[in-house]
Every structure is written in C-alpha cells, then in structure tokens.
Amino acid sequence: MGSKDQGGGAASSGGGFFSSFAAGMRTWGTAVHKSVNGLLGYEGLEVINPDGGSDDAEEEALRGRWKQEDRDSYWKMMHKYIGSDVTSLVTLPVIIFEPMTMLQKMAELMEYCELLDKADECEDPYMRMAYAAAWAVSVYFAFQRTWKPFNPILGETYEMVNHQGITFLAEQVSHHPPMGVAHCENEHFTYDITSKLKTKFLGNSVEVYPVGRTRVTLKKSGIVFDLVPPLTKINNLIFGRTWIDSPGEMVMTNLTTGDKVVLYFQPCGWFGYDIDHQFLVAFVAE
C-alpha cells in the first residue's frame, strides 16, 4: 500500500509540474503571436522559426515552399477557417503532399517493431513497458518529413509483409471524416489501431488531435497496452518553413496491471527543433 501511495503522489507532483510548464509555454507562444502580427499585419498569423527564437519572424515568413503570390492567395482563402476543424472542409493544393497515402503512413510505426519483440520476451514488467514505450516514440523519426500524405479513397487497402516477420494490413473505412483501421502481427505481438483525427486550424498552423484507439497485445504474457499519443502541431503552413511539433503527454497504459508510462514532450521553438532533446519521461506505477 505504501508503494502505491508513493506512486500516486509522484503522479500528482509530475502532473502539476507538466501543467505549469505547459502554461508557461502557452504564455510564450502568445507573446510570439502578438509580435508577429505587429510585424506582418496579418490577423491570426503566427510564424515560428524552426531554428529557435522569433526575432527574425518577418524574414522567416518569406521562406518556405510557397511563392509570395501563392502565400497571399492561400491566406485570403484560409483565414476564414481559423478555429475550425478542417479535416474534410477544404481542398488542399498538391504542393503540400508527399507521394504516399495515410495508410502507408500508418505502417511507419512498424519500422522498429523489434522493440515489441523484446518487450514480449522480457520478464521484468518495467523493462517490458520501457521497450513498448520506446517503440511508441520511434515513429517520430518520420516527423522530419513535413509533407502531407494523400487521403485514401473509401475501401482502399494497404498491405505490408515480410518486414521483420510482420504482416500489416490497413483499410480506409470512412472518407468524411477520414478514418482508417489497421491490424499487424507476428509471433510476438498483435497491433490494432483505429486512426481518426480532429483538427483545429490556427491560421499559419494546424493542431491535429488523435481521437482513435491503439492497442498492442503481447502474445507470451497476454498483456494489453493502450496508447494515447500527444497532439501534433504543424507550424508555418503558409508563411515560413514548415515544421512539426508534438507537445504534451504520451500515455501508455498496461490494461492488465494498471501500470502506465507517461512521456511528456516539451514544445519546441525556444531553442529550435531538436528531436533528440524533445521529451521528458516519468513512470507511474499503480
């Protein structure tokens, strides 16, 4: 009982720290927002230099993948959607897409699936969670690419086989709003996901909230993990160089024992985009 109470106290303390830290980041973000508005004269526009700082926000706004006339034209079309969920609301220009679909993007989480193999073979319950959490974080290597995958058509499927012994199958089950499902397994684990997103358009950025469900079952122990990732924010959509951040908490819960691991991703922007120094880790045992 003593150990359990101590864990609960740690969770409460950690939550307070994370909350105050996030509040400080929001205050800083508001200051940047105002300074950029003053420089550029665009209502609702925020430009954040991916190398850190906001002193050169006006110069940064002229960079990126858009021509000046295209930036102005697209801003005039998009600014009326500020605050809206734009998941299926607008037609996007092909310049922002990469030559793959969201179903293929979903499969990128299996790049380092050997970590789940190790979790299944591990006898120590906390090392098992550490391996599983490391696997969950591994997908963020792909966030260095800032292009958007194409939305699959309804009923489209994607299959990947013989990648480290796994079989991965995904299908688009809804077009408006976009939603995909996937199943993956090998001799060590099964993985199931319902991928559904909500978005909030903020002018020159968009926040993407995962509202689907992700479950991993380890075959040897029968343990089931539930994964809730943090939101993703795509910065400098129209003005400036596009870059991606994922501030907030990632929570992986062992549904069999109640243990969980919480990873707090600190927002980038103060010191530049550095994925190697992006997150803090806290273990919470219940």
- Where exactly are the structural domains of the chain? 2-284
Measured CA distances, 231 to 123, 149, 159, 175, 234 (Å): 32, 17, 27, 22, 10
Fill in the amino acid letter for 155.
Answer: G
Query: Does residue 153 register a pLDDT over 50?
Result: yes
When pLDDT is cut at 50, 70 and 90, the band that residue 155 belongs to is very high
Q: 169 or 275: which carries more pLDDT confidence?
A: 169
**What is the DSSP secondary structure assignment for residue 267, as one 8-state letter?**
P
Which is more confident, 76 or 168?
168
Q: How far apart are CA 194 and CA 173, in angstroms?
A: 10
Q: Residue 128 pLDDT > 60, yes or no? A: yes
DSSP 53: -
Q: Which residues contact 87 (CB under 8 A, 6 or more apart)?
A: 177, 178, 197, 198, 199
Q: What is the pLDDT of residue 52?
A: 62
Q: Tokens for 186?
A: 């090998």
Averaged confidence pLDDT in the chain: 78
Give the residue carrying structure tokens 């993985």. Answer: 191
Residue type, 219: K
Higher confidence at residue 88 or residue 273? Answer: 88
Cα 202 from Cα 281, distance rounded (Å) = 29
At residue 205, the pLDDT reads 86
Nearest to 285 by CA among 56, 101, 52, 129: 129
Angle between helices 114-121 and 125-138 (to 10 degrees): 170
pLDDT tens for each residue of 31-79: 344 334 444 456 557 777 776 655 566 777 777 777 777 777 777 777 7
CA distance 107 to 95: 23
pTM: 0.75
Write down the pLDDT at residue 80. 79
Q: Is the pLDDT of residue 195 over 60?
A: yes
